[in-house]
Amino acid sequence: MKVRLSEIPVGSCFLHGKGMKKKVGDGRTAFVGLNGRIKTRQMRGDPTVEPIACPLKYLGVGLRRHPDQVVEIGDGNILKKRRRRS
């Protein structure tokens, strides 16, 4: 089911071309590169896209511009030892 980019809400993920992207603003999209960095770009026009569910790698992308969105991570046990991942 293809829709226009302007029709999906901010924070939604979608397929466009060969890759998956996330809408982070009015016409602005973010994508994760092969090296793991998050890049944002302005989309030209109003392309047709296919909305999909966001994977975990897009969990916190774009929250700085929209602080009213809340994301909860973990089980809430703050005393539990956390493993450091590098």
Q: What is the pLDDT of residue 23?
A: 92
55-68 average pLDDT score: 72
Q: Quote the tokens at residue 57.
A: 């790698």
Question: Which is more confidently placed, 85 or 15?
Answer: 15
Q: What is the pLDDT of residue 14?
A: 94
- pTM exceeds 0.95, yes or no: no
Residue 3 CA to chain centroid, in angstroms? 17
HEC string for 51-73: EECCCHHHCCCCCCCCCCCCCCC
28-51 average pLDDT score: 89
Phi, psi of 57 (to 5 degrees): -65, -15
E runs forming strands in the chain: 3-4, 13-16, 19-23, 28-32, 38-42, 48-52
